[in-house]
Amino acid sequence: MPSVAFYTLGCKVNFYDTEAIWQLFKNEGYEQVDFEATADVYLVNTCTVTNTGDKKSRQIIRRAVRRNPNAVIAVTGCYAQTSPAEIMAIPGVDLVIGTQDREKIISFVDQIHADRTPVNAVRNIMKTRQFEELDVPDFSERTRAFLKIQEGCNNFCTFCIIPWSRGLSRSREPQSVIEQAKQLVASGYKEIVLTGIHTGGYGDDMENYRLTDLLWDLDKVDGLERIRISSIEASQIDDAMIDVLKRSSKMCRHLHIPLQAGETSVLKRMRRKYTTEEFASKLQRIREAMPGVAITTDVIVGFPGETDEMFEEGYKFMEAVGFSEMHVFPYSKRTGTPAARMEDQVDEEVKNERVHKLIDLSEKMQLQYAQQYVGTVLDIIPERDYKGAPGTGLVMGYSDNYLQVVFDGDESLIGKLCRVKITEAGVNENRGQLIRVLDESGLNNFGHPEALRA
Ligand code: SF4
């Protein structure tokens, strides 16, 4: 049996793509082995979101070449798309394929096995308008399935290289999304996470069909209990989206809405499509429509030209609007983007200080959010034994509003919807007490904390 080993860098979409590529190899009779083992094919799925992503990708490729110089070394992903020549120049690389044409990987690998001639298969992504259909029927995680519905981005934020590596926004056909969702439900998944590079841009390339239409169509899929959107922009929250959030019982009370900066002039230089006032008013509308919703965000600190005053104003804004968690990143220059050429780059030490301040704020807000739920009852789907170790007598899972909860139970509960009383709040981990395992009839009832206060 031929063997293949994978290494994935970067975001969730890349991990999804690797899973999809693995399906192609699996269908050809390959077995998957650890990246540190000797394999016939090594596939490195690269990232280029920062210059460090490029460097790390090169290191991993060299590691694969050293591991087995006779293996086929295939490189895909964002860095492969933007810099194929740089990768082809690494001795031992056999195949470079960007962020499209992945369904041809097996035939390229077979060809390379036969004639050992390196192939650069990267094509211009900016001309691609078609969504690449690659299915993932099952995941190593048993309770949540990811479903990629969208690729690329039309936004061209000044700090971001992604539109150049992933191309312009394109959507998966609704029928294909629904079919895939039904298959995932049939395989036992209760929760589907809709993913993409710019998930909220779903439908931008279609006539009269938007993300909200897809959400209503998914709402009708029998047996699907939870629909989560991996990320959505504030500018994409419109009346139709508010209506879905309000009326669909399957929509998780969790939205990830990237803020990126809490000061309007910085947002403008980032070329983001909202002011802080607009962002705040969107959040208010969401909270009215969906009480108790968890809103998480991404923030970049130390963007070129961000003064202490701008940072302080941003800090106060974030504190005032409130998030249930913030993912904080120091601005990192990405060659080829407008922001990398901007003047007034911020000192690394200043960036680090700002990162720490915002991480402290995030932890404070995380705890505050979780504390509201102490004494309430939430529905949790356990994902694994506590800390991944069987025999602890504890399991860990998430509520629909993305609280990580640890409670008494064993492996038999994994994947089942459990009604749990929250007993203790923490920054990353909350404790609970199992009340009962719900039967099929109770599965849709996530309820709001007010209604369920015990
Ligand atoms: S919205 Fe901006 S940050 Fe997000 S992928 Fe598009 S260009 Fe990059």
Examine the domain organization and report whether 174 and 226 are in the same domain: yes
My answer on whether 282 and 356 are in the same domain is yes
Q: What is the CATH number of the domain that holds 257?
A: 3.30.750.200
CATH number at residue 208: 3.30.750.210
Of residues 170, 233, 176, 180, the one with CA closest to residue 204 = 170
Residues 240 and 300 in one domain: no
**Residues making up the chain, counted from first to last:** 454
Report the pocket of ligand 1 as residue ranges, CB < 6 Å.
153, 155-157, 160, 162-163, 197-198
The CATH number of the domain where 63 resides is what?
A: 3.40.50.12160
Question: Which residues, at least 6 apart from 351, have a Cβ–Cβ distance to it below 8 Å?
Answer: 301, 302, 330, 331
Give the confidence band of 439 by pLDDT, cuts at 50, 70, 90: low
Residue ending a domain, choose from 94, 123, 152: 123
- Measured by CA distance, the residue closest to atom 4 of ligand 1 is 198
- Nearest of 231, 250, 258, 246 to residue 286 by alpha carbon: 246
Q: Which atom of ligand 1 is nearest to the CA of 154?
A: 6
Clarify whether residues 166 and 263 are in a common domain. no
Per-residue pLDDT tens digits for 113-148: 999 899 999 999 988 888 888 888 877 666 788 999
Rounded distance from Cα 435 to ligand 1 centre (Å): 42
> 356, 371, 386 — which closes off a domain?
371
Which ranges constitute the DSSP H helices of 322-426?
348-371
Q: Which percentage of the chain shows pLDDT scores above 90?
A: 82
> Cα(157) to centroid of ligand 1, in Å?
6
Q: Are residues 276 and 354 in the same domain?
A: yes
Task: Note whether 280 and 350 are same-domain residues.
Answer: yes
Buried/exposed code over 371-397 (b: 16+ C-beta within 10 A; e: otherwise) = eebeebbbbbbbbbbbeeeeeeebbbb
Residue 450 confidence (pLDDT): 32
pLDDT higher than threshold 80 for residue 445: no
Which protein residue's CA is at the shortest distance from atom 2 of ligand 1?
Answer: 157
Average pLDDT over residues 349-367: 97
- Note whether 334 and 219 are same-domain residues: no
Residue 87 shares a structural domain with residue 75: yes
- In this structure, the answer to whether residues 54 and 97 fall within a common structural domain is yes
CATH code of the domain in which 397 resides: 2.40.50.140
Q: Lowest mean pLDDT of 203-207, 215-219, 353-357, name the range.
A: 203-207
Which structural domain range is residue 418 located in? 376-453
For residue 297, report the distance from its CA to the centre of ligand 1, in Å: 14
| Alpha carbon of 343 to ligand 1 centroid (Å) | 21
Dist CA 198 CA 329 (whole Å): 19
Question: 45-66 pLDDT, tens per residue?
Answer: 999 988 888 999 999 999 999 9
Based on the fold, state whether residues 180 and 211 are members of the same structural domain. Answer: yes
Q: How far apart are CA 97 and CA 129, in angstroms?
A: 18
- Best residue among 150, 159, 160 to mutate for probing ligand 1's pocket (most ligand atoms within 8 Å of CB) is 160
Residue from 153, 256, 269, 273 whose mutation best tests the ligand 1 pocket (most atoms within 8 A of CB): 153
Q: What is the pLDDT of residue 453?
A: 31
Return the pLDDT at 52. Answer: 86
> At which residue do the structure tokens 């439908």 appear?
203
* Domain boundary residue, one of 371, 388, 417: 371
- Nearest atom in ligand 1 to the alpha carbon of residue 233 is 1
Residue with tokens 């108790």: 292
The residue whose CA has the least distance to atom 1 of ligand 1 is: 155
Residue 228 sits in the same domain as residue 335: no
Provide the domain count of the chain. Answer: 4
354 and 402 both lie in a single domain: no
